[in-house]
């Protein structure tokens, strides 16, 4: 998945109607709604939008025929593999009707082109692993964590050693578990459920 590095906008004229597409990174529904109220042009004919935050998404056609604006905007966000994204298309009507296909292409295509031109970054898929580590292997776990570019989130010491929670790329999780068990000859206990 990707997310935007900064707000980006594009403008195009299709059959005398002006379509202004604006996309931005957001981290909550509140941020998305604030963005929409700050950037919508209430003198325009339509302000159609969509946002996606992980599994949460919403869209509106704002008076355009049902399914011709909001859904194509959302489909463009999903199709370009963006997350934590809000997209707004402001339309100033130019007097020529585009028909349902034309509207879908104008709204969805406008956001697609806007996202393609925008600066973005790849969102890494992270997981957590919890380890029960005897004292003599704590330094080895720190070294392994550095080698696999993971991050120690917490370290709680007890009479036997430490409970260590590590955040790492999901793609390296299995390798980390195997190496932790190998360096300790099975004495490091992984207490994260296998399917997590």
Q: Under a CB-based contact definition with an 8 Å cutoff, are residues 134 and 192 in contact?
A: no
Q: How confident is the model at residue 149 (pLDDT cuts 50, 70, 90)?
A: confident
Average pLDDT over all residues of the chain = 93
The phi-psi region of residue 41 (left if phi > 0; otherwise alpha if psi is between -120 and 50; otherwise beta) is beta
Helical residues (DSSP H) of the chain, grouped into ranges: 29-39, 70-79, 99-117, 138-147, 173-183
Q: Under a CB-based contact definition with an 8 Å cutoff, are residues 125 and 100 in contact?
A: no
Number of H helices, E strands in the chain: 5, 11
| pTM exceeding 0.75 | no
pLDDT at position 106 over 70: yes
Q: What gap in Å lies between CA 51 and CA 86, rounded to an integer? A: 4
Nearest to 83 by CA among 38, 51, 37: 51
Q: What gap in Å lies between CA 79 and CA 30, rounded to an integer? A: 24
Domains and CATH numbers, the chain: 2-122 (3.30.230.30), 126-190 (3.30.70.240)
Nearest to 21 by CA among 43, 3, 41, 1: 41
Q: What is the pLDDT of residues 151-193, one digit of tens each?
A: 898 999 999 999 999 988 888 889 999 999 999 999 999 986 5
């Amino acid at each position: 998945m990707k997310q935007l590095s900064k707000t980006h906008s594009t403008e195009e004229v299709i059959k005398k109607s002006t379509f202004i597409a604006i996309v931005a990174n957001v981290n909550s529904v509140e941020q998305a709604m604030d963005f929409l109220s700050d950037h919508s042009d209430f003198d325009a004919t339509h302000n159609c939008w969509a946002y996606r935050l992980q599994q949460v998404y919403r869209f509106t056609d704002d008076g355009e025929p049902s399914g011709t604006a909001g859904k194509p905007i959302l489909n463009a966000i999903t199709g370009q593999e963006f997350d934590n994204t809000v997209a707004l298309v402001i339309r100033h009507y130019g007097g020529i009707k585009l028909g349902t296909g034309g509207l879908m292409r104008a709204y969805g295509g406008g956001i697609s082109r806007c996202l393609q031109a925008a600066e973005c970054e790849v969102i890494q898929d992270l997981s957590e692993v919890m380890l029960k580590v005897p004292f003599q292997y704590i330094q080895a776990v720190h070294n392994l964590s550095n080698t696999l570019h993971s991050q120690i989130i917490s370290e709680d010491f007890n009479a036997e050693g430490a409970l260590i929670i590590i955040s790492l790329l999901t793609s390296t999780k299995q390798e980390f578990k195997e190496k932790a068990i190998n360096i300790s000859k099975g004495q490091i206990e992984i207490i994260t459920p296998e399917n997590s």
